Amino acid sequence: MLGDLSALSAAGDGTPIITAAYPRSKSTCDCRALGIAECNHPRIYSQPDCNSGWDSAREKYFNGYHLYMISAADSKYDLPLYPRLQPASRHDAVSLVMSTIEFKQRFTLGTVDKMLLDAAHDAESIYLLLEHQGMEPFIDLNIRSKKNSASKTASDIQISPKGIPICPKGKEMKPNGTDRKLHRRKWRCSPDCSCSTAKFGRTYYTKTSDDPRLFPKTPRDSEKLKLIYKRRTSIERSNKREKVDYKLESGRHRSTLVWYMRIYGIMICQHVDAWYVSQKDEWDKLKSTVCPSAV
């Protein structure tokens, strides 16, 4: 139900978890009893690992957690794999770093081959981290990135924000083959372009090792990448199932431990639901054989 365990595709994304309208705390002094409305004495917080963050979907600030979930992208049932409660103010990219390290240490069911992430994770350091962990990153380019301008190379060729070489005449070069062993891609300028005197047009090579963000192992314009990356939305469906169908935020807990127990209980229900749906025909057939009147 999770997919190919020898080469599993996983997806990661964060979602806000509202635990209270305001931070919960108790005073350690008797200033209020003495008539002092405001004081600077330390306070005891029931959830010290919660804080305030911005919920872009609801367009408001909230107090609580930032739940970063990793799910099985190839799963037919959008099954969750690993949850991690982070402070509400933490960015998705930072949450991913902590979550993937723990996930790789604890997930023993198979080998994670691919990691599918949205544009919030579009940073070169994320690509390098995932490559180091043995996972191929599939990350959408962030159109608001500061790198969205043509970058220079050692030659007179420039690289567009989408990773396409631009010849000195300002024309985008065309792909002309891929060396999969060396993770190198060949580009060629049209023969009628005056940027080169070469008979078949000027050629240029890009390598993944030069910039894994702009030149990923699987070319961004390939059908293979589009086919794989469209499964990234499985993590959003998984998070929706936990928050809407199983009412994750309805809990009134004041302990991170209890929140984890609630999350894992919901994840177990998701897996039980998938197990039942996958074998429903067999159960119905067995029920009709054992007790025909019940059908």
**Where are the domains positioned within the chain?**
8-141+220-294, 148-212
Report which secondary-structure segment, H or E, holds 205: strand 203-207
Task: Among 74-78, 251-255, 265-269, name the most confident range.
Answer: 265-269
Task: Determine the topology of domain 8-141+220-294 in CATH.
Answer: Nucleotidyltransferase; domain 5 (3.30.420)
Q: Nearest 5°: phi and psi at 227?
A: -65, -40
Calpha distance 115→67 (Å, rounded): 18
CB 65 within 8 A of CB 88: yes
CB 16 within 8 A of CB 70: no
Share of the chain above pLDDT 70, in %: 95
| Angle (nearest 5°) at CA 7 between 68 and 212 | 70
Calpha distance 39→210 (Å, rounded): 56
Under the banding of pLDDT at 50, 70 and 90, the label for residue 292 is: low
Per-residue CA distances from 250 to 22, 62, 280 (Å): 16, 15, 30
Is the pLDDT at 248 greater than 80? The verdict is: yes
Per-residue CA distances from 276 to 1, 78, 136, 279, 282 (Å): 11, 14, 32, 5, 10
Chain-centre distance of CA 141, in angstroms? 13
Chain-centre distance of CA 194, in angstroms? 44
